[in-house]
Amino acid sequence: MVNVSTCCCVVVLILCAFAFTAHAQDLPSLQRYDLQQVRADTSLMFYDMQFQTRMEESLRFAVEPRMPQNLVMYQSLRPTLTEKLIGAGFLTAVLLSSDDRTAMRSERWYARSRKTQNLGDSFVMMGDGAPHLGLAGAFAIFGYATSDTRALRTGSAMVRAILGTGLMVQTLKRIAGRQRPSHATHPRGEWNPFPNQKHYNKNIPAFDAFPSGHIATTTTTLTVLMESYPEATWLRPLSYAIIGAVGFGLASSGMHWYSDFPLGIVIGHLIGKLAVNSASVFDDSAHAGGEPSMTISPLLTDGRVGVELHIAL
């Protein structure tokens, strides 16, 4: 049944991608991009004459709401990175105090029947990396087939965001070393900071609960969508509902504690925004102004092969 659920999640996400990009093409103009997006989009004009025409028609609407006299007030309403991390830490501490009780209640719901188990497993599969990479591929294929540069850019940003989130989360998991609820020997899961990596690889569920990679991956993919298609106002509440469903599925199946989610959400949100605003293959000068950026590149040193993640804030 899990395999069927996985296939259903992949099919639904791919269909949503094609439906979403088709809807976006019907829009008469692009609405209210921020200044960074206008600069990045302008660099693509030479690659898509149709996109250039739409940008010229909508440039007035994109720039006017972000004029200097309004920009200070607009930016002051947004929490800073430090404020987001403090908020995530506070929520983690609050949820940590009741992890044993909330985990027990969620697991009782999961064990009620086979239907609730299948539903919970389906929610978990929605947060797996495979459907999200499939969604990124769907955007890339659609963008290439229809010469839609925004869809191409969205697919590219999704891949960078998913890879960057994976590297960040896996590093933190191997530092925190928290037990999953299903393998807990302590009411709230035992913490083993900086565990032996051989022990980690032999018994991953005993060390990899914090933070949640499924939640981070889901959040980063949906953040890329929301940032790439700001005119789709329905996407924001839908994204919140999907993140909530994935989190409930993870907690009810014993894979994560609820306190594993706040930091995962912040990481996914941050890297998703960085992936959208970072330089693409069409824009070699996007980092010149000192803007926040993220790059992922191969790493070859001393005969070892790896991946380097560089984040500039």
Alpha helices in the chain (DSSP H): 2-25, 35-42, 49-63, 68-76, 81-96, 99-110, 114-126, 129-146, 149-176, 197-202, 213-228, 235-252, 261-277
- The CATH number for 217's domain is 1.20.144
Mean pLDDT of the chain: 78
Question: Taking the CA of residue 189 as centre, how many other CA atoms within 13 Å lie in the half-sphere pointing to its CB?
Answer: 35
State the average pLDDT over residues 71-100: 80
Query: Does residue 99 sit within a domain?
Result: yes
User: Each residue of 185-236: pLDDT tens digit?
Assistant: 988 999 999 999 999 999 999 999 999 999 999 999 999 999 999 999 999 9
Query: Does residue 53 sit within a domain?
Result: no
Query: Does residue 93 sit within a domain?
Result: yes
Cα distances from 180 to residues 44, 84, 105, 124, 303, in angstroms, run 46, 25, 16, 15, 35
* 73: pLDDT strictly greater than 50: no
* 7: pLDDT strictly greater than 80: no
* 161: pLDDT strictly greater than 70: yes
In the structure encoding, which two tokens stand for residue 300, read together? 């070859």
Query: Does residue 35 sit within a domain?
Result: no
Q: What is the pLDDT of residue 299?
A: 53
21: domain range?
Answer: 2-26+80-312
Name the percent of the chain lying above pLDDT 70: 64
Classified as helix, coil or strand, 178 is strand
Query: Does residue 48 sit within a domain?
Result: no
In the structure encoding, which two tokens stand for residue 248, read together? 């409930």
Q: What is the pLDDT of residue 82?
A: 84
Q: What is the pLDDT of residue 59?
A: 52
In the structure encoding, which two tokens stand for residue 292, read together? 């926040």
Identify the weakest region by mean pLDDT among 57-71, 108-122, 137-151: 57-71
State the average pLDDT over residues 273-296: 58
Query: Does residue 118 sit within a domain?
Result: yes
User: Each residue of 20-56: pLDDT tens digit?
Assistant: 544 444 444 444 444 455 444 444 444 455 555 555 5
Instruction: pLDDT band for 84, please (50, 70, 90 cuts).
Output: confident
**pTM of structure:** 0.71
Largest Cα span, the chain: 62
* 272: pLDDT strictly greater than 60: yes
Query: Does residue 238 sit within a domain?
Result: yes
Q: What is the pLDDT of residue 85?
A: 87
Count of domains for the chain = 1
C-beta of residue 56 within 8 angstroms of C-beta of residue 237: no
More reliable by pLDDT, 191 or 13: 191
* 11: pLDDT strictly greater than 80: no
Q: What is the pLDDT of residue 4?
A: 53
Q: Rounded CA gap, 59 and 111, in Å? A: 55
Instruction: Quickly tell me which residue has 């999640």 as its tokens.
Output: 9
Cα distances from 124 to residues 101, 151, 298, in angstroms, run 21, 26, 30
Query: Does residue 58 sit within a domain?
Result: no
Q: What is the pLDDT of residue 194?
A: 95
User: What is the DSSP pairing of strand 304-312 with strand 293-301?
Assistant: antiparallel
* 66: pLDDT strictly greater than 60: no
